[in-house]
Amino acid sequence: MAEDLLHKQFPPYIAEEGEEYMNARQLAHFRTILATLKGELAGDIERTVHTMQDEATVFADPNDRASQESDIALELRNRDRERKLIKKIDEAIARIDAEEYGYCDSCGIEIGLKRLEARPTATLCIDCKTLEELREKQVAK
C-alpha cells in the first residue's frame, strides 16, 4: 500500500529537546507527507483508469472473460480503498489548517509524533484507538 512507502521516502521527524508539540515545522513535515501520499494515490487511480480502458478486451472464452472481470473487480476494490484514504488525507490536511492536527478526537491529548509518522491520518491516540478496537471486537462476537 502507498502508506507503507512513507518510511522509505521521508526521514522521521526528530524533535529537538523542549520543542513545542505541533509547531510550524512539525505541521509542515506532516503536510508534506500527506500531500505526497495524496499525489501518489491520485496517480495510481489515474493509471488504473487508463489501464482498464486500454485492456478492455472482449474475450470469447468464458474463462478468460471471468479472469479479466475478477482482475478488474480486485483492482476496483483497491482503488476504492485508496479513494477512502484520499478522503482521510484531505481531512487530515483540513485539521492541519484548523490547527487541530496531532490531537486525539476523543480525549484531546497529543497523539504523538511516532504514531503520526506511522499513520499520518490518525485521529485517535493509541489508548483511545485500542479501546475502540476492543469495543468493535466485543460487538462482533
Domains of the chain, CATH where assigned: 2-140 (1.20.120.910)
Determine the Cα–Cα distance for residues 3 and 73; give it in Å rounded to an integer.
22
Determine the Cα–Cα distance for residues 128 and 43; give it in Å rounded to an integer.
33
* C-alpha distance from residue 45 to each of 17, 42, 57, 81, 121 (Å): 41, 5, 20, 11, 19
Would you state the pLDDT for residue 1? Answer: 47
pLDDT, the chain, mean: 88
Residue-wise pLDDT for 76-126, tens only, equals 898 899 999 999 999 999 999 999 999 999 999 999 999 999 999 999 999
Does residue 27 surpass a pLDDT of 60?
A: yes
pLDDT band at 56 (very low <50, low <70, confident <90, very high): low
Share above pLDDT 90 across residues of the chain, in percent, rounded to a whole number: 57
Does residue 52 contact residue 72 with C-beta atoms inside 8 Å?
Answer: yes
Would you state the pLDDT for residue 97? Answer: 96
Give the three-state DSSP class for 103.
strand
Highest mean pLDDT among 20-24, 53-57, 60-64: 20-24
Does residue 83 contact residue 28 with C-beta atoms inside 8 Å?
Answer: no
